[in-house]
Structure 1
């Protein structure tokens, strides 16, 4: 036991040496602000993109059981019907989190005769799901449709499944969905899309990335989150009736866990029913204002979405950059390996509808001083 503890301490020391050590920050979120250690900062780390999470909720009894045992409150049926309509699909299935939706749905839909083609920058939940699935796996270069097509042609004998994100969580770029969906149809490959960061925020009525690109009908399975654009909690998958039925019967992260408390389901239901056009328009305006401001300062900004990475590279320098932002009342977390590749550390800035013009202008002023201090432009 002592040897095990010594080994753990050595591993922690190595993590610290590489400037990769993480520590939880305890804070109180209030609208566009977060307060940490009595310091009030403008929050540029929230995934509550439309600023919907302020609704007061009243707790109700927990389901305290799996939905297949005794925890299937009727509120789930109502929410799943709305989610299926939202994505123009036949059925939907709610999971406790978006991570669990990927972890359950992906392995449920494949077998040993399936080969998965996954973008190299897909979210950790997709990577873990692919590893657990038992299917063969081919990772294609990020958003490289030529590499994807070339890899698919090598494996004609297998059932083929392509997985990509709609908006990539750390780079903030759109997936090349038009081209990928064409390859999917041409090669008879099943297409799964994780649209956690595009759902409810882009496209007509917030219908997501495929709607934005006009390829809604070409996606076979949508997996998404209720905790980002919708500002609630949970995850879901939506697809044809047979696909959802198979998930009910085979998705282990659905079968073997307690259901969400009904008040969270009801909160999601109330928010999906409300008109979010005003918040979506404000998010677009804020994103444009902030991105343009960073470019004027001289930052190399390629993102066209509300997720804007400021890539610095060196982990230590990135930590120092983040500390400078914190000291100047801007909360923008440094992101390092293994979340992103080594030597591509960054600040992941997320714009929300919570922010007012004054928040953005004051933050840009801090980013301008940071650019000079760290010689980034």
Structure 2
């Protein structure tokens, strides 16, 4: 136990200690955080559906009809007609033959990769892929080859060196800490050229990109060329859970061999009902997505004009790169004192020397609130000598 204390002390000394922030209200542009109203700029609730009345009504109806718990794993007693409806809905939404719902995106990635691959496989993995992908790769026992972030030349070079009999390229669609998008067209070309399977984690792309908000693969027009489309129900869809979408045979395989699916109690009916309603709204309502794009482009432009180091992305994820973990932490704390919550992201979530504030916008943010945020972040950026002025 003494060793644990030493490790914790070291984490605190390096400004890498993290703790939970507790909300006393729904995920919305403004939230009650431990008794204080703050503008929330760190949520993955991209379309602002977490507090939508239609989703609440769907949950209440499901509770009244089905109760509150699933009662067992999906392959024993935990499957409901709602689960089947959602899986059919996701398949149509993603343009695939079938889909399978997991309890979380993390469990989906771990379950997919560990069931598909073994020591005979080689997995080519973007260096900035989500931790759940890395953990799934490691659990599989496959040879893990990490290529430079979105660098197709490096990927092809490593394919030449390491390609085996069974191979997979896996990438995030939208990278959660940088907000940039994987070059899926180029990845598909390489996969076809070298006969390699492809998998895309589209957790942060669904609801934000593509025709009807169906994600990154649709945005690039390569949906039919991605072998495994994975995603979550907890970001723009405003519920909880993960999924895999693909050919019927592929889904049947994972239903029978993915341990994180087989040995987990099914998601509760209320969450499934919320996901169904949210996807229905996303498919029909382009206005939220359009407004989110306009807000994000304007906000990024203003930050750049102030001199902040950020990236030019097509998503509502806006990293403000600070570099030093202590300074990133201090900026986040100062903003919170002014009624603005933007989490400081530090190693090991991001590489050393790239600590940042991860701003994520909602379609329901107002220009008035965001103008106030810009004013304050400019003042604090100058005070901490992050920007000139």
Equivalent of residue 292 in structure 2, options 278, 283, 304: 283
Q: Tell me the SS of whatever aligns to 2:204.
A: coil
CA distance in 1, matches of 2:34, 2:94: 42
Question: Counterpart of 2:5?
Answer: 9
CA distance in 1, matches of 2:25, 2:352: 30
Is the contact between residue 282 and residue 353 of structure 1 (CA under 8 Å) also seen in structure 2?
yes
Is the contact between residue 41 and residue 331 of structure 1 (CA under 8 Å) also seen in structure 2?
yes
Question: Counterpart of 1:356?
Answer: 366
Alpha-carbon distance, 1:134 to partner:
1.4
Equivalent of residue 145 in structure 2, options 133, 138, 142: 138
Alpha-carbon distance, 1:219 to partner:
0.9
Is the contact between residue 303 and residue 309 of structure 1 (CA under 8 Å) also seen in structure 2?
no
Question: Counterpart of 2:22?
Answer: 26
Alpha-carbon distance, 1:112 to partner:
2.1
Query: Once the two structures are superposed, what CA deviation does each residue of 1:120-162 show, in whole Å capped at 9, x if it has no partner?
Result: 1000100100000111110111111111011111234321100
Alpha-carbon distance, 1:28 to partner:
2.3
Query: Which shifted more, 26-35 or 166-175?
Result: 26-35
Query: Once the two structures are superposed, what CA deviation does each residue of 1:188-211 show, in whole Å capped at 9, x if it has no partner?
Result: 110000000001111111011111
Question: Counterpart of 2:164?
Answer: 157
Is the contact between residue 308 and residue 350 of structure 1 (CA under 8 Å) also seen in structure 2?
yes
CA distance in 2, matches of 1:288, 1:323: 25
CA distance in 1, matches of 2:34, 2:232: 30
CA distance in 2, matches of 1:68, 1:103: 19
Question: Counterpart of 1:371?
Answer: 381
Question: Counterpart of 2:350?
Answer: 340
CA distance in 1, matches of 2:48, 2:135: 30
Equivalent of residue 124 in structure 1, options 131, 135, 144: 131
Is the contact between residue 106 and residue 130 of structure 1 (CA under 8 Å) also seen in structure 2?
yes
Question: Counterpart of 1:326?
Answer: 336
Cα RMSD for the two superposed structures = 1.2
Equivalent of residue 148 in structure 1, options 146, 149, 155: 155
Aligned length: 373
Q: Which runs of 4+ in 1 moved over 6 A?
A: none
CA distance in 1, matches of 2:24, 2:108: 28
CA distance in 2, matches of 1:224, 1:266: 17
Alpha-carbon distance, 1:231 to partner:
0.9
Question: Counterpart of 2:310?
Answer: 301
Query: Once the two structures are superposed, what CA deviation does each residue of 1:163-182 show, in whole Å capped at 9, x if it has no partner?
Result: 00111000111111111111
Q: Tell me the SS of whatever aligns to 1:318.
A: helix
Alpha-carbon distance, 1:78 to partner:
0.7
Gaps in structure 2 of 5+ consecutive residues: none
Question: Counterpart of 1:231?
Answer: 238
Question: Counterpart of 2:275?
Answer: 268
Question: Counterpart of 1:169?
Answer: 176
Question: Counterpart of 2:224?
Answer: 217
CA distance in 1, matches of 2:106, 2:151: 25
Q: Tell me the SS of whatever aligns to 2:162.
A: coil
Question: Counterpart of 2:202?
Answer: 195
CA distance in 1, matches of 2:303, 2:108: 35
Is the contact between residue 109 and residue 243 of structure 1 (CA under 8 Å) also seen in structure 2?
no
Gaps in structure 1 of 5+ consecutive residues: none
Alpha-carbon distance, 1:285 to partner:
1.4
Question: Counterpart of 1:44?
Answer: 41
CA distance in 1, matches of 2:364, 2:228: 31
Alpha-carbon distance, 1:110 to partner:
1.5
CA distance in 1, matches of 2:310, 2:277: 36
CA distance in 1, matches of 2:16, 2:137: 26
Q: Tell me the SS of whatever aligns to 2:266.
A: coil
Query: Which shifted more, 211-220 or 308-317?
Result: 211-220
Equivalent of residue 75 in structure 1, options 79, 82, 88: 82
